[in-house]
Amino acid sequence: MVTLNSRLPELGARARLASRRLALASTASKDEALRRAGELILQRAPEVLSANDADLDRARATGVPASAIDRLQLDERRLEQMSAGLFAVAGLQDPVGEVVDGVLRPNGLSVRRVRVPLGVVGVIYENRPNVTADAAALCLKSGNAAFLRGSSAAQASNVAIASVLREALAKAGLPSDGVLLVEDVSREAAEEFVRLTGIIDCLIPRGGPSLVAMVREKATVPYVIDGDGNCHVYVHEAADLGMAVRIVLNAKTSRPSVCNAMESLLVDAGIAQVFLPLVGRALAERGVKLLADEAASAELGDMAEPATPEDFGREFLDLCCSVAVVDGLDAAIEHIGRYSSGHSEAIVTQDLSAATRFTREVDAAAVLVNASTRFVDGGELGLGAEVGISTQKLHARGPMGLRELTTVKWVIEGNGHTR
């Protein structure tokens, strides 16, 4: 039974206890739990979908917008994807136990750093109930207990999914408390959750700016921020303009609602007259609204509307982007330095020294040369799975995989060594 009415510190103590067992669990038993969860989620589809219906009814009754309803909704296909995701995580390499580095000291002391789970990973998230399965699977594979706090809107769905995961853990001989879902979905409970010092080893907030702001303001536990992406594509004067159009179109329109989509286009003054009409028409054909500065507007004409300075700092997450003309590489780097959210920044150029300076001097989790910002994604970069994309510099930067759900332990072996 997953219904957890207990107080948070009690739940946390249960998560800690489970984390100690999970840290020592074999890869085989963790993978068995993941595969059993992948089977069970399909067997229990009727229960999960009926719980989801209850959430949807409640959401519709309270006038939730259609886009949020879509994120909340589960169906057979989405449950199949969830199941496939659980099997996929079972197929990933277990990061636990890797010897990261080591040395034999001159005094004969043997020193190595070994990868170990973080312990209890707290995830606080909004809406989409598939996060319950995704986050729990990645925590489990990396030997952590998943301490989950979803949104009130998805609570019935989350309870149903967490219940499946807990049953799968038990069937694989692992502690079912390896997945714990907080029942109390009040704002007070969220604030208490992020202050469980000594219980949560790492907190991952997955949600919008107000959730991130709450975490920054209230949290006393260590956390990793998965922040906004105000990603730029800078078309340098030495760019292949055909390539530049293809990259801009892909970065802006292939999936505008995600954080690695382009939100701002910078074009060198020397090529603005040729390139802007070209890219402007291509973007207009895909229905992209352009907010341009004065110099860009002069070339784009009625394809663009005037941009305010604030528009250059916005993450639109929609078919809309800001456009500015810049006076060469230095000005582009300066502009990005002012407006970047530190996520992903791209240059299009055939000039080696411009590419080198851009990658060295732009301060972001990812810098790209002649490639769409859309590649900044755990799957695309070979991580296998993605926990999120960190826009902070501590612990993890950019796409986070299983490795980022671990820490290291120093193991030091002597033979009676004293100082």
Sole binder of a copy of itself in the list 45, 49, 86, 118 (CB under 8 A): 118
Sole binder of a copy of itself in the list 303, 365, 387, 400 (CB under 8 A): 365
Residue by residue, DSSP assigns 182-229 as ----SHHHHHHHTT-TTT-SEEEEES-HHHHHHHHHH--S-B------
Q: Pick the closer one to a copy of itself by CB: 144 or 157.
A: 144
Sole binder of a copy of itself in the list 6, 27, 81, 407 (CB under 8 A): 407
Q: Pick the closer one to a copy of itself by CB: 76 or 363.
A: 363
Q: Which tokens hold the place of 328?
A: 């060469």
Q: Pick the closer one to a copy of itself by CB: 315 or 380.
A: 380
Determine the Cα–Cα distance for residues 332 and 335; give it in Å rounded to an integer. Answer: 5
Which stretch, 5-13, 18-26, 40-48, 51-59, contacts a copy of itself (CB under 8 A)? 18-26
Closest CA to 118 of 42, 38, 223, 14: 223
Residue by residue, DSSP assigns 116-143 as EE-SEEEEEE-S-THHHHHHHHHHHHTT
Q: Pick the closer one to a copy of itself by CB: 62 or 418.
A: 418
The yes or no reply on residue 337 touching a copy of itself (CB under 8 A) is yes
Which stretch, 4-12, 53-61, 178-186, 409-417, contacts a copy of itself (CB under 8 A)? 409-417
**8 A C-beta contact, residue 256 and residue 318:** yes
Specify the 3-state DSSP secondary structure of 147. strand
The yes or no reply on residue 408 touching a copy of itself (CB under 8 A) is yes
Q: Pick the closer one to a copy of itself by CB: 148 or 221.
A: 221
Sole binder of a copy of itself in the list 7, 20, 60, 338 (CB under 8 A): 20
Sole binder of a copy of itself in the list 3, 7, 9, 24 (CB under 8 A): 24
Query: What sign results for the dihedral spanned by CA atoms 291, 294, 296, 297?
Result: positive
Which stretch, 70-78, 228-236, 245-253, 324-332, contacts a copy of itself (CB under 8 A)? 245-253
**8 A C-beta contact, residue 389 and residue 343:** yes
Report in angstroms how near the CB of residue 223 gets to a copy of itself at its nearest: 8
The yes or no reply on residue 370 touching a copy of itself (CB under 8 A) is yes
Determine the Cα–Cα distance for residues 108 and 110; give it in Å rounded to an integer. Answer: 6
Report in angstroms how near the CB of residue 21 gets to a copy of itself at its nearest: 10
Specify the 3-state DSSP secondary structure of 264. strand
Determine the Cα–Cα distance for residues 216 and 218; give it in Å rounded to an integer. Answer: 6
Site pattern 196..225 for a copy of itself (x: CB under 8 A): -x---xx-------------xx--x-x-x-
The yes or no reply on residue 419 touching a copy of itself (CB under 8 A) is yes
Strands 145-149 and 120-125: parallel
Which stretch, 49-57, 71-79, 183-191, 386-394, contacts a copy of itself (CB under 8 A)? 386-394
Q: How far is CA 82 from CA 131, 187, 255, 299, in A?
A: 9, 28, 20, 47
DSSP 8-state symbol, 108: S
97-111 burial, b at 16+ Cβ within 10 Å, e below that, comes to eeeeeeeeeeeeeee
Sole binder of a copy of itself in the list 52, 83, 127, 250 (CB under 8 A): 250
**Where do we find the tokens 């960190």?**
390
Which stretch, 16-24, 135-143, 174-182, 277-285, contacts a copy of itself (CB under 8 A)? 16-24
Q: How far is CA 37 from CA 21, 91, 319, in A?
A: 19, 14, 37
The yes or no reply on residue 372 touching a copy of itself (CB under 8 A) is yes
Q: Pick the closer one to a copy of itself by CB: 60 or 360.
A: 360
> For residue 54, which phi and psi values (nearest 5 degrees)?
-60, -45
Binding residues for a copy of itself, rule: CB under 8 A, are: 20, 23-24, 103, 105, 109, 111, 116, 118-119, 197, 201-202, 216-217, 220, 222, 224, 240, 243, 246-247, 249-251, 254, 337, 355, 359-361, 363-372, 374-376, 380-382, 392-395, 397-399, 407-419
